[in-house]
Structure 1
Amino acid sequence: MVVHNFLGGYAYHMVHISNFPSILREKALLSKESLSQKGINPYSIALESVQALRKRITVQRPGMPSPRQLHSYVPFYFILRAPMSYAPNVKGQQNRLLVLEIELIILNEPEVLFTDGNASMQKLSRYGTEVVVIDPANARRDTCIRRYHPGGPHGTGENWSDFYSDVAFLDRLNWGVLNGGTFIDNREEFTRIRSSEVLIPDRLPISKIVGIYASNPDLAQDANDVVKMFGLERAVPEVVCRRGL
């Protein structure tokens, strides 16, 4: 399959309705690092154990003035119902979660990365102190390079997720698993692949959002009321009910 076919798809990000006003106020979806810098403390649906791992992951690309923390990227999933949707801490919040949709063509923009699995899976020990610096595969080098400090990796995971900075590598993703046509008996590996990510540096302007979905009509109405309150009816899509989210 050629690259332009992959880029015809979409990516998704879940947000709690309580965070929707700040997104509209900023006119952007901000990374965890950017939120902290602005003193914004959003309602989090993420597992703290996973966030602790992501905090220990840094991206360093040739030509970058300095390394970037993984937390400086806004993460999206390639699939609407990513494994995170089924996590106990998220499942109980389904009636208050919105799903934002963007076009995969964003992968052509500078500094946007993608992974072939959950970005947090880098074989880091769960309670250790080693960190990893990742140099994504690129047009000049087709492998993803990792450097662990002070040594490692010390984790017990079977696999890790590679990072890519060029859309030419989209064929490295397991699209059979992502599209639901292939199942892997190894549940951990299946979940890792289904959690492949699009990583957008710092902020995603609301102008990039092409769809906003709610799991029930009441939530859709509440979200649309917030959009009207900010006078942004023409800036973002109408929130629509999409049952089964």
Structure 2
Amino acid sequence: MVPNPTFIYHITSIENLSSILRNAGLVCINQLNKSASSFVNIAYEQIQSRRSEKQVPLPPYGNLHDYVPFYFAPRSPMLYTINQGNVTQYQGGQQQIIYIVSTVQRVLSERIPFVFTDGHAIMSYSEFFNDPGDLEQIDWGIMSSRYWNDTTEYPDRKRKRQAEFLAFEFFSLNSVLEICVINDAFQDQVIKILQNNSINIPVNVRREWYY
């Protein structure tokens, strides 16, 4: 059953927060590149090149870099990779990663164009959808599970856990419900950054969302 509210989670480095606030929201990579904006990239470079080439087969079309990506669950395989130190150009670890949290319902109320997938978006057999009625295609069992590793019995768990909700081009701060961090020290840092930018968004510690 599709959870209601249906939470979505964007992860980024705390070092990007000030620029996100200045932009009044999350900007897709293609738009950031057009404006020559600098940002801390926490993703695999080789995956990013494939995302820039992956075309979205449904309106509003474009490629994956025309979208701001969210997951449907915390503790993603990507965060695990970061925690293991396996992203060459980013060695900040999981502690510096923050969650920017919203819901599909908020996206619908704000009329933000979107698509979503039932698995990792660059995988050829992951399907794309743009009708919220198709959220039942997401494997909500794996989203609520603490563990997502592939097994002999269930060899497709990791791909499904990486299903993506993709907001087209821009995701306004008005649609952000909370920012979550690993501990009190990072909560204090985020609160200070928000105060310095005169922004009021709840900041909560969610240690269980990390490894």
Structure 2 gap ranges (5+):
none
Q: CA deviation at 1:182?
A: 8.7
TM-score (norm 1): 0.74
Deviation at 1:9, TM superposition (A): 2.0
**Distance in structure 2 (CA, Å) of the matches to 1:103 and 1:230:** 24
- Write the letter of the residue equivalent to 2:27: L
Q: Contact 1:114 / 1:199 at 8 angstroms: preserved in 2?
A: yes
Specify the SS of the correspondent of 1:58.
Answer: coil
Q: Which runs of 5+ in 1 are unaligned?
A: 123-159
Instruction: Note if contact 1:117-1:194 (Cα within 8 Å) is conserved in structure 2.
Output: yes
Q: Report which of the two structures shows the higher radius of gyration computed on alpha carbons.
A: 1
Alignment of 1:61-210 (within 5 A): 61=58, 67-87=61-81, 88=84, 89=87, 93-106=93-106, 108=108, 109=111, 111-122=113-124, 160-180=125-145, 184-186=150-152, 189-210=156-177
1:194 Cα deviation after fit: 0.4
Q: Secondary structure at the match of 1:80?
A: coil
Does the C-alpha gap of structure 1 residues 91 and 114 become closer, same or farther in structure 2, counting only changes over 3 Å?
A: farther
Deviates more, 1:186-195 or 1:24-33: 186-195
Partners of 1:181 and 1:47 lie apart in 2 by 23
> Secondary structure at the residue paired with 2:55?
strand
Deviation readout 1:99-126 (Å, 9 max, x if unpaired): 111012145345311100010112xxxx
Aligned residues: 199
Work out whether residues 28 and 204 of structure 1, in 8 Å CA contact, stay in contact via their aligned partners in 2: yes
* Paired residue secondary structure (2:22): helix
Residue aligned with 1:222, SS: helix
Contact 1:7 1:104 in 2 (8 A): no
Summarize deviations over 1:156-198 as a string: whole Å, max 9, x none. Answer: xxxx210001112111111112221896515762110000110
User: Structure 1 residue 85: deviation in Å?
Assistant: 0.9
Q: RMSD across aligned C-alpha pairs, in angstroms?
A: 2.2
Taking the aligned partners of 2:185 and 2:112, their CA distance within structure 1 comes to 38
Q: Structure 1: which amino acid aligns with 2:174?
A: S
Shift of 1:86: 0.3
More helix by share: 2
- Cα 1:165–1:211 change in 2 (3 A) is same
Distance 2:91 2:77 in 1: 10
Cα displacement (A) at 1:6:
3.5
Q: Tell which deviates more after alignment, 85-94 or 33-42.
A: 85-94
Whole-angstrom CA distance in 1 between matches of 2:155 and 2:34: 34
Moved more, 24-33 or 92-101: 92-101
Q: Provide the TM-score with structure 2 as the length reference.
A: 0.86
After superposition, what is the alpha-carbon deviation per residue over 1:130-180, rounded to whole angstroms, capped at 9, x for unaligned?
Answer: xxxxxxxxxxxxxxxxxxxxxxxxxxxxxx210001112111111112221
Q: Which stretches of structure 1, 4 residues or longer, exceed 3 Å deviation after superposition?
A: 106-110, 181-184
Q: Distance in 1 between matches of 2:147 and 2:4?
A: 21
Q: Distance in 2 between matches of 1:22 and 1:175?
A: 33
Pair 188,203 (structure 1): closer, same or farther in 2 beyond 3 Å: farther
Distance (Å, rounded) in 1 between the aligned partners of 2:79 and 2:91: 6
What is the one-letter code of the residue matched to 2:175? K
